[in-house]
Structure 1
Amino acid sequence: MRADRRRFLTVSAAMAGAALVMPHMLRAAPGASVWHGQAMGAPTTLILNHPDPVRAQALLRQTEAELRRLEAIFTLYRADSELSRLNRDGYLLAPSPEMLGALQLAAAAHAATGGRFDPSIQPLWRAYAAGDTAAVARARPAVGFGHVRIDPDRILLARGMALTLNGIAQGYITDRITDLLRAGGARHTLVDMGEFHAIDGRGPYDPWRVQLAGGGEALLADRALATTEARGFCFDAEGRLPQLIDPATGAARADWARVSVLADSAGWADALSTGFSLAPASAIRAALPGLPGVEVRVLDDAGQEFRFT
C-alpha cells in the first residue's frame, strides 16, 4: 500500500535518560545493545536491554536471521517470495504460518475499517506508479479483498488479482521480532522494524516517548504504534496523488495528513492506520467500540490533531 511509509518519528528514549532520535541519530547509554538494519526496504532500529550481554548478542543475530526469513515471505522485490509467487500464479499451496497469519489479520482489518484497508489494490498501485490512466480504469475490477480465499492449505486469488502487504507486513514483522526478544528475556526494549513495539517502558516507571511527525507525542510501554503519512510518497511530482488508494473508488486520496494508531499489536496498528487514513471522523468513531484498547490520532491538512478512543 505504499512505496515508503517511513515516518521520521523521533524517540526521547531509552536508558539512563539518554535522548534518542530514531532512526538516524541514535545515542544509547552504556550497556544497551543497539542494532540498525533493513526490513522491507526500510531502515530499522532495535534498542535491546538484556541482563546477559552474551545472550543479547545472540538475540541480535537471531533477529537478523528472522528478518531475512520473514522478508522472503512478504517482499514484492524478490521473485521467489511467497507473495510474489502468489501474485504470479494466482494461488499459493502450503502457505507458511506467517503468510496465513498476516492475511487473516488483514481480513480482520478489512472488516474493521469498512473495507478501506484492502491489500488487493496492488494492480491499481502498479497502474498509478506507471502513470497509466487507462490501466487504472482496467485495474479497478480486480480489486476486492473479499474475493481472496484463505485456507490453511492454500491461498487463491480471483482472475487478475494481486496483493500487496506493505500496509501490514512491517507491523507484523515488528510483532514477530518483539515476540522473539521477549521470549529471549529482553526487558525495557524498543523494536522499530517499520513500526514500533515496546517491551516494558524505557525504565520501570518511565514509558518510551515517541514524537510523532507533525507534532504530538505517544507514550509506549508494552504497546505498539504505527503511523501512516499519506504524502510520505506521491505518485506525481505535484503531490496531488498520495500513495493511498481508495479501494471503493480507485482514487489515490486520503482524508488525513497523518494517522497514528496505538494498539497491543504493531500489525493491527499498521493495518488500521492505513485503512483509517481513508476514513472520515464519523467512520473512525463508529469503528472504535469494536476495537478495544485501540487509540487513533489523526492530523488534518491544517495541522490540527484529533484523538479517538
Structure 2
Amino acid sequence: MTGLLSCLSAPALCEWHYEKQAIMGTEVTVQLWHEDEKRAQELIGQVMAEFRRLDGELSPFKEDSELSRVNRSAGKQTVEISSELAALIDKSLWYSQQTDGAFDITFASLGKHYDFRKHQRADNQLTEKLLPAIDYHHLRFNKGENTLRFAHPDTSIDLGGIAKGYSVDRAIHILHKAGVCCASVSAGGDARMLGDKRGQPWLVGIRHPRDKGKNAVVIPLENTAISTSGDYERYFIDEGEARVHHIFNPTTGMPTDTGDADSDKLISVSIIGLRGFDTDPLSTSVFVLGKEKGLALIDRLPGFEAAVIDSQKRLFFSRGLDMPRHSSTEQPSATQTANQITPET
C-alpha cells in the first residue's frame, strides 16, 4: 500500500510519504519527508528492494538463500560465506560471548522444528537428541577468510534475532546517503529513525503485551533505533495452556519460560540504541536473561537503554532512561512501573 500523510487539504504540497509491504514475514513500513514525490517513491522502492534482497539471502525458509546453503553444508565441511553474512555471524558471536550464550543463533537446531502456524513443537525425544547441537562454540568462524564450519553435524543457525535490525540499518543508510533528513523505517519489532519528525520527536509506542489495541508506553525518540521482543509476536497456546513462543532459551532448547508470575521473567523487552544491528540481538538477549541479569547487562553496555515488562505486567527501565512517556489517559514520569499505566487483563 502506498500513500501520503498529511495531504488531504493540499495534495500539491504533500511532503510526507508512506508505504507498507509484507517482507521478511512481517510488515515493513517506510515513512519519509521529501519535497519531490517522484524521488520519494524511488527511494521507497530502493528501500523495499533492499529488504527483499536481504530476505532472499538471510531467510532460513528459502532454499536458495545463502543461509540455507550454509545450513545444508557447514555441518559437513568448511564453507565460504559472503562478507555480509560474515559480519552478521561476527556480531552474533560477540553477543553470545557478552551474554554467556543467552543470544545464540544455533537455537535453530531445535527452533526449526517448531511451526507456530500449525501449532507444532519439537517433542521431548527430539529436544533431548538435538539439544547438544545448540552451542555457539560449535561455530568455527574464520573472520579473516570469511569461512564457517559447524563442529556438530546437527547444528543449524537462524539470524531471526539480528537480521531485521540489520535490515532497518541498511534502509536508513540508503535514505541518509540520498540526503533524506527525516524518516522512519520499521520491520516488525525493529525500527530506526533518521532525524526527527520535522521539529518533533518520533513517538514510538511499545505495545501492551497482553492487549494488542493498547500501548504500555510511548517514548519520544529521534536519530536512534529501537527493537522490541515479546512472547506475543509469534506464539500458540498448547494443550497444557502454556504459551509456546518464538524466543528460545539456548540452555533448554525450548521457548523461554514466561508462564508464571515470577517477577524476573519477562514478556516484553525494548532496547534503544544507535543501530538496529545491536538493539535487535540485545532485545532477545535481555528477554532470555530475565529482568535482573538483563537490565544489569544494559546498564553495563554504554549507549543502550531498556524498557522491560515482567510477567506481572510491570514496566521497568534501565538506569539512564529518564524520558517522558505517554498513555491514552495520563503522562506519568518514566520512573514509575507499568502497573500504574498498564491495564490488567
Please, what TM-score do these two structures have when normalized by structure 1? 0.85
> Are 1:156 and 2:149 an aligned pair?
yes
| Secondary structure of the corresponding residue to residue 231 of structure 1 | coil
AA of the residue aligned to 2:271: V
| 1:213-253 CA distance string (max 9 Å, x none) | 11012222011010011232235433433322211232322
Identity of aligned residues (%): 27
**1:23 match:** none
> Are 1:135 and 2:126 an aligned pair?
yes
**1:169 match:** 163
**2:98 match:** 112
**2:110 match:** 124
Corresponding pairs, count: 285
**1:82 match:** 66
**1:212 match:** 206
Contact 1:113 1:272 survives alignment (8 Å): no
> Are 1:253 and 2:265 an aligned pair?
no
Return closer, same or farther for 1:235/1:84 CA change in 2, 3 Å cut-off.
Answer: farther
Alignment partner of 1:68 out of 52, 56, 59: 52
Return closer, same or farther for 1:65/1:53 CA change in 2, 3 Å cut-off.
Answer: same
- 2:236 & 2:127 partners in 1: Cα distance? 13
**1:43 match:** 27
Return closer, same or farther for 1:30/1:92 CA change in 2, 3 Å cut-off.
Answer: farther
What displacement does 1:289 show? 4.4
What displacement does 1:284 show? 2.2
AA of the residue aligned to 2:148: I
> Are 1:101 and 2:87 an aligned pair?
yes
Alignment partner of 2:192 out of 184, 187, 197: 197
- 2:169 & 2:94 partners in 1: Cα distance? 17
**2:277 match:** 267
AA of the residue aligned to 1:162: S
Contact 2:134 2:250 survives alignment (8 Å): yes
Alignment partner of 1:185 out of 170, 179, 188: 179
| 1:107-143 CA distance string (max 9 Å, x none) | 1221222210111011221344443221111110000
The list of structure 1 runs, each at least 4 consecutive aligned residues, that deviate by more than 6 angstroms after superposition, is 14-18
Say which is worse superposed, 219-228 or 98-107, in terms of deviation.
98-107
Unaligned runs of 5+ in 2: 209-215, 258-264, 320-345
**2:341 match:** none
- 2:38 & 2:192 partners in 1: Cα distance? 23
Structure with the higher helix share, 1 or 2: 1
AA of the residue aligned to 2:227: A
Return closer, same or farther for 1:94/1:251 CA change in 2, 3 Å cut-off.
Answer: closer
Say which is worse superposed, 48-57 or 60-69, in terms of deviation.
48-57
Could you say what the CA RMSD is over the residues aligned between the two structures, in angstroms? 2.2
| 1:251-295 CA distance string (max 9 Å, x none) | 322420100000111121111111110113331243234411100
Larger Rg computed on CA atoms: 2
What displacement does 1:92 show? 6.7
- 2:245 & 2:37 partners in 1: Cα distance? 44
> Are 1:55 and 2:39 an aligned pair?
yes
**2:317 match:** 307
Return closer, same or farther for 1:235/1:154 CA change in 2, 3 Å cut-off.
Answer: farther
